[in-house]
Amino acid sequence: MTDATALSNGKATCLIPGVEVRRLRTNRQASGELTALEEDCNLGFPLRRVFYIRPASPESVRAEHASSDDMVMIALTGGVTVDVDNGHQKDAFRLEGTAEALWIRPGVWVRLRNFVAGTVILVASSREYAETRHYDSPQPHLIPGI
Q: Report how many domains make up the chain.
A: 1
Mean pLDDT computed over 88-113: 96
CB-facing half-sphere around the CA of 58: CA atoms within 13 A: 7
**Residue 5 clears pLDDT 60, i.e. is over it:** no
Average pLDDT, the chain: 91
Residue 37 vs residue 59, higher pLDDT: 59
By residue count, the chain amounts to: 146
Residue 110, domain extent: 2-25+35-138
145 assigned to some structural domain: no
CATH no. for residue 54? 2.60.120.10
- What are the distances in angstroms from CA 64 to CA 31, 54, 112, 135? 39, 16, 7, 9
User: According to the model, what pLDDT value does residue 56 have?
Assistant: 96
| pLDDT value for 1 | 59
Neighbours of 144 (CB within 10 A): 10
Is the residue at 82 inside a domain?
yes
Instruction: For residue 69, give the amino acid letter.
Output: D
Look at residue 30 and tell me if it is in a domain: no
Q: What is the mean pLDDT of residues 56-69?
A: 97
39 within some domain: yes
C-alpha to C-alpha distance for 7 and 75, rounded to whole angstroms? 16
At 26 the pLDDT is 87
**3-state SS, residue 40:** helix
Give the max Cα distance, the chain.
Answer: 47
Query: Does a structural domain hold residue 143?
Result: no
- 83 lies in a domain? yes
**CA 125 – CA 4 distance, rounded (Å):** 22
